[in-house]
Amino acid sequence: MDTLPEKPAWLNRVSILGVGLLGGSVGMSLRRSGVHVVGYSRRESSCRAAIQAGAVDEGFTDIARAAQGSDVVVVASPVDKIVALAIEADAVLAETALITDVGSTKAEIVAEITERSPSAAAKFVAAHPIAGSEKTGVENATATLLDGKLVVLTPDETTSTELLERSKTFWLQTGGRIVPMSPTEHDQRLAAVSHVPHLVSSVLASLLDEECMPLVGSGWKDMTRVASGDPAMWTAICEQNREAILGQLERFADTLGSLREMLVTGDTTALRRWLEDAKTRKDATQ
């Protein structure tokens, strides 16, 4: 990518806590600018895999050693582990360091870190790069995964302007585009465009009978692609964003009910108009 900003002078060392698909891709993206990237994984073998994949320059199985001296710590773990890792890293960081993350949920993480550790919260700007995949693991990471992708930043009222600016500069360096919104707005919107679609994908996959299996076409395959995602990761997302997901599931079920009504009454004019409206909305996103 020839449009990456020039590396800011303050950005020299970045720690990635959890070097999987997304963490690994963040590491690779930063190494393009000459940032020194350090990874933390619980297992020695994962550290070696991260180095071998080119995601990090060094790997540690100890959080303190990985975070020490870093300008930015990126927590790229499942959403239910983010706060604990951020707090652990905070203990060894300089006052001016930035802690950020890549989690698909934001409100609970922001509330929890504020409650549990004012020191970590003062360094934290929550982030969500919209660049997931059903694939997992550093072996699927790429340096360009974030290029041109939206990175949602969800500062709260306690986030200093300076810290927010630093987090924007940091995420621009990965190749992303920045959009700020509140944690709650993020969670509501992601429930609509990601979390509920994921669950719907799983519903479709769960209903596949043995006898139907040979008949699946490209439509079914595309619609169930995300159902291959990591169940543990998605269970944690559902827990953290339960209310918004339930709200969106209700909207979904209501619309499904109206559709069912059109079929029962044989109102083909309404059905066609509804299909046209759905197509218009879809086509507007392309």
- Beta-sheet pairing, 127-129 with 150-153: antiparallel
Residue ranges with strand state E in 108-253: 124-125, 127-129, 150-153, 177-180
Instruction: Considering the complex, state which of residue 1 and residue 204 has its C-beta at the smaller distance from a copy of itself.
Output: 204
CB of 238 to a copy of itself, least distance (A): 6
Instruction: Considering the complex, state which of residue 111 and residue 205 has its C-beta at the smaller distance from a copy of itself.
Output: 205
Region of 175 please: left (phi>0), alpha (psi -120 to 50) or beta. Answer: left
CB of 221 to a copy of itself, least distance (A): 7
CB of 220 to a copy of itself, least distance (A): 5
Instruction: Considering the complex, state which of residue 36 and residue 149 has its C-beta at the smaller distance from a copy of itself.
Output: 149
* Placement of tokens 């291959």 in the chain: 228
Region of 34 please: left (phi>0), alpha (psi -120 to 50) or beta. Answer: left
Residue ranges with strand state E in the chain: 13-17, 36-40, 58-60, 72-75, 98-101, 124-125, 127-129, 150-153, 177-180
- Beta-sheet pairing, 13-17 with 127-129: unpaired
CB of 265 to a copy of itself, least distance (A): 11
CB of 149 to a copy of itself, least distance (A): 8
Residues 6+ apart with CB under 8 A from 20: 76, 136, 137, 138, 141
Region of 58 please: left (phi>0), alpha (psi -120 to 50) or beta. Answer: beta
Token pair listed for 138: 């550093």
Instruction: Considering the complex, state which of residue 117 and residue 201 has its C-beta at the smaller distance from a copy of itself.
Output: 201
CB of 74 to a copy of itself, least distance (A): 19
Instruction: Considering the complex, state which of residue 82 and residue 97 has its C-beta at the smaller distance from a copy of itself.
Output: 82
d(CA 159, CA 164): 7
CB 11 within 8 Å of CB 71: yes
CB of 27 to a copy of itself, least distance (A): 20
Instruction: Considering the complex, state which of residue 119 and residue 140 has its C-beta at the smaller distance from a copy of itself.
Output: 140
* Placement of tokens 């001296």 in the chain: 69
Instruction: Considering the complex, state which of residue 122 and residue 249 has its C-beta at the smaller distance from a copy of itself.
Output: 249
